[in-house]
Every structure is written in C-alpha cells, then in structure tokens.
C-alpha cells in the first residue's frame, strides 16, 4: 500500500521553522533576563498596580494565574492576570511582561481602535475557521471551485485576526517601555533588557501571522485543484 504525499505542505515549512525559532527565542530571552533582578526590587504585580493607578485604572483588578507566560488582560472583566513567572518575580523580564499587559489595559481605557477590532474578530475567526473547513471539503468533494474558494476566504479570517493582533501587541510593548523608562520603574540598562524580552515576544506574533498566511495560501492551492479536475 503506497503513501500519498501532499506537496502543498511544502509551503508551510518556512512558517514552521519561523514559529519554532520564535518560540525558542522568547523562551531563551525570558529565561536569560528572568535571573536579573530590577534595582528597585519591584515585583510584576507591584509594577502592574503602579502603572494601572498612574493611568487612573483603579477598577482594573490584578489576579494570579498558574503557568508561565500565560499573562493576559481581559477587557470584558477588567482583570489583568499575571502568571507564576511574573506575579511575584522581581526580575526585569517579569516587570517587562507585566507592563506589557498593562499596555493592553490602557489601550482598552483610551479606546485604542485596533484592540476593539481584534475583540470583534474573535467570534468571527472561530466561526470562519470551522465553517471554512466544511465548505472547502464540500467544494473538493463536488469539484466546486467557487464553494471551495468561499471556504478558503472564510478560513482566512484567522489571518486577518493575526494581522490586527500584531500592531496591537507592538503598541502595548511600546507603551510599556515608555512607561518603564519615564516613570523610572526600571533604571539604566534594565530598559534595554526588558525591550529584548518584549521584542522576542512580538516575534511569536509575527510567526503566527506568517503561519496563517502560509496556511491560507496552501488552501488556495488545494482549492484550485478542483478547477483542474473539471
């Protein structure tokens, strides 16, 4: 019994390599600067509270969640969650991550438009991805290029989501670094250290976007096969 090799998988290889590199980069960079204690001895949760209060966001709660680098801000509940590796740590890396999440809280409070677009795309992305696969499969079974193409277009909502996410994350990091420096939360060469951590984290979002675009391109190639079979 022979094995079938789908040549369209080749287009995913560069994206996979980038994703693996990005994950290695963020883990290694965070690990490196997680051993460097900031000169003021502030923990991630303390820095988060300072930044939130300085922006008048007294109603945003700070919560402790399990895991490493699982930090996030939920605009619906106004809860900023810091992971085990951030909440009680006084490392430069932890402070940088905490400040980044505060950046999202400030984005929400100031009506940063791309953040609202990203939030609106969440349900659309979920539905588009699921329905897209179904329509693509039906289009392939019945050799219907238009139907298969509609499926690919619906699936591409995930790429649009990643394209919007990237500037949102970069903006949050820029806000974080500016605050850490202007409010003297980090001193001297600690800011460049935090910047390296956030740049490494941003690379994961670049990789996610590239992966989504590569997958959409691959599905377009698959959909086009229905035209050749007709």
Asked whether the predicted pLDDT for residue 160 surpasses 70, the reply is yes
Residue 229 pLDDT level (bands cut at 50, 70, 90): low
> Across the strands, what pairs with 37?
91
Specify the 3-state DSSP secondary structure of 55: coil
What tokens appear for 113 in the block?
Answer: 């438009």
In angstroms, how far is CA 140 from the centroid of its own chain?
A: 32
φ, ψ of residue 37 to 5 degrees: the values are -80, 130
199 has pLDDT over 70: yes
**d(C-alpha 80, C-alpha 92), whole Å:** 19
Q: Does residue 229 or residue 168 have the better pLDDT?
A: 168
Q: How many Cβ atoms are within 10 Å of 92's Cβ, its own excluded?
A: 27
Q: What pTM does this model have? A: 0.89
Average pLDDT of span 11-32: 96
Token pair listed for 127: 């539905």
- Tell me the chain's radius of gyration from C-alpha atoms: 21
d(CA 133, CA 185): 48
Q: Pull the structure tokens for residue 180.
A: 């850490």
pLDDT exceeds cutoff 50 at 1: no
Catalytic residues: 101
């Amino acid at each position: 019994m022979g094995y079938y090799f789908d040549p369209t998988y080749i287009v995913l290889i560069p994206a996979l390599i980038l994703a693996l590199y990005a994950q290695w980069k963020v883990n290694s960079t965070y690990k490196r600067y997680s051993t460097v204690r900031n000169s003021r001895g502030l923990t991630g949760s303390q820095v988060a509270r300072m930044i939130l209060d300085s922006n008048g966001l007294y109603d945003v709660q700070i919560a402790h969640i399990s895991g490493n680098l699982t930090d996030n801000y939920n605009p619906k509940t106004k809860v900023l969650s810091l992971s085990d590796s951030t909440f009680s740590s006084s490392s430069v890396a932890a402070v940088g991550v905490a400040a980044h999440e505060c950046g999202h809280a400030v984005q929400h409070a100031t009506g940063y438009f791309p953040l609202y677009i990203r939030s609106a795309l969440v349900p659309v992305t979920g539905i588009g991805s699921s329905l897209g696969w179904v329509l693509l499969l039906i289009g392939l079974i019945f050799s219907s290029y238009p139907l298969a193409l509609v499926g690919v277009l619906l699936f591409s909502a995930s790429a649009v989501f990643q394209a919007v996410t990237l500037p949102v994350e970069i903006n949050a990091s820029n806000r974080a670094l500016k605050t850490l420096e202007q409010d003297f939360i980090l001193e001297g060469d600690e800011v460049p250290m935090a910047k390296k951590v956030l740049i490494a984290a941003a690379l994961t979002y670049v990789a996610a976007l590239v992966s989504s675009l590569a997958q959409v391109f691959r599905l377009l190639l698959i959909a086009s096969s229905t035209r050749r079979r007709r």
